[in-house]
């Protein structure tokens, strides 16, 4: 990961505010592509973790939806469950999606579904690998599937408190 994101730099991060900030930062791009955002995150979702890495999760997912899902779509961001240790998030779009054979490889470093299109749009194939690593560092897991409304849905967990280095969960769903 990026050395600028010191893994020991821990703070309490308000996820709703963080996502709200990201939506504000990309509002012009959303408007240009006629993308609406349904942010159903409730107040009070706070994670003790690394702000930069938590930001990178939601920013990279948002940037990918803007770049690849198409126009006239909706992005849905929500937390559908909470237990003593984890928050369970869904990030979905109603866009183009990806062919089924690519789903299992989306989180690989440098992997791009459409190499020609990604190159034209400036993609490096690192965004979802960064997302996966940031989720793992925060004790969670992530998967991607086709959304019932079309497009992709990313389901991921984040521990309410980032575990000590070396104790990240790789199997939590």
pLDDT tens readout for residues 71-90: 999 999 999 999 999 999 99
Q: Is the pLDDT of residue 165 over 80?
A: no
* Distance in angstroms (rounded) separating the CA atoms of residues 139 and 30: 31
Q: What's the pTM? A: 0.84
Provide the pLDDT for residue 51: 96
Q: Is the pLDDT of residue 42 over 70?
A: yes
What would the CATH number be for the domain defined by 11-159? 3.30.565.10
Provide the pLDDT for residue 109: 73
Q: Is the pLDDT of residue 134 over 50?
A: yes
* Distance in angstroms (rounded) separating the CA atoms of residues 78 and 12: 19
**Mean pLDDT, residues 3-20 taken together:** 81
Q: Is the pLDDT of residue 105 over 90?
A: no
**Mean pLDDT, residues 149-165 taken together:** 87
Q: Is the pLDDT of residue 163 over 80?
A: no
pLDDT band with cut points at 50, 70 and 90 for residue 1: very low
CB proximity list for 63: less than 8 A, separation 6 or greater: 26, 127
Residues in the chain: 173
Q: Which residue has the higher pLDDT, 156 or 168?
A: 156
pLDDT band with cut points at 50, 70 and 90 for residue 122: low
Q: Could you tell me the CA-to-CA distances from 72 to 25, 37, 66, 152 in Å, in that order? A: 19, 11, 11, 15
- Range with the poorest average pLDDT among 51-65, 104-118, 154-168: 104-118
């Amino acid at each position: 990961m990026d050395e600028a994101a010191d893994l020991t730099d821990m703070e309490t991060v308000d996820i709703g505010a963080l996502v709200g900030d990201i939506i504000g930062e990309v509002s012009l791009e959303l408007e240009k592509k006629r993308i609406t955002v349904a942010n159903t995150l409730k107040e009070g979702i706070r994670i003790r973790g690394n702000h930069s890495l938590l930001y990178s999760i939601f920013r990279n997912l948002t940037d990918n939806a803007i770049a690849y899902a198409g126009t006239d779509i909706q992005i849905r961001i929500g937390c559908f469950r909470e237990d003593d240790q984890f928050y369970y998030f869904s990030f979905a779009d109603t866009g183009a999606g990806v062919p089924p054979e690519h789903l299992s490889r989306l989180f690989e470093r440098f992997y791009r579904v459409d190499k020609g299109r990604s190159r034209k749009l400036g993609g490096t194939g690192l965004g979802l690998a960064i997302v996966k690593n940031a989720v793992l560092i925060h004790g969670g897991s992530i998967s991607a599937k086709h959304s019932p409304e079309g497009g992709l849905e990313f389901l991921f967990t984040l521990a309410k408190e980032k575990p000590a280095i070396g104790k990240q969960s790789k199997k939590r769903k």
